Amino acid sequence: MNILIDNRQDKVEVINLEELVKKVIKTVLKVEEVIDNVEVSVSFVDNEEIRKLNKYYRGIDKPTDVLSFPLAEFEETYDKIEKIDQESEEVQPIGDIVISLEKALEQSMEYGHSFEREVAYLTAHSMLHLLGYDHQTEEERKIMRQKEEEIMARLNIRR
């Protein structure tokens, strides 16, 4: 498994976040029973950079907490991943995650929990998007929320 992490911001100090993000990603893959021959890219950015990305990709000119960029539709990605031999060195990239650490810090204070919990939650949420989950309908939102809660519980990260 390749987890590539790039810190492109200097507003929030990054202490032990890389290990936390890796642990969350591995837990999501385990919960979803996805083989570990995958690659995920994670970028830590500030509010200004995520605002620009949000405007460009979603047409929303304001900062957000996290953006997910799956490299393919889930079914196509999952089919490719399933075909990779478990012993193979071949790694299947599944997508990119961009987290505004500045927004995560703001939200952690707003919600009254730790910054680490917020980053873990945003990582889990985004990984589920990379694996095809969404929250456009109430039913989708319920399913995704249950998955997020299961992942956070497995990580023993509480509110």
Binding site members for Zn(2+): 125, 129, 135
Binding residue ranges: 125, 129, 135
- Dmax over CA atoms of the chain, in Å, equals 45
Helix/strand/coil for 27: helix
**Nearest partner of 28 among 53, 59, 3, 50, judged by Cα:** 3
Q: Tokens 């995520």 appear where?
A: 50
**CA pair distance 94, 28, nearest whole angstrom:** 13
**CA pair distance 71, 77, nearest whole angstrom:** 8
DSSP-derived secondary structure letter, 34: -
How wide is the angle at C-alpha 41 spanned by C-alphas 110 and 32, nearest 5°?
80
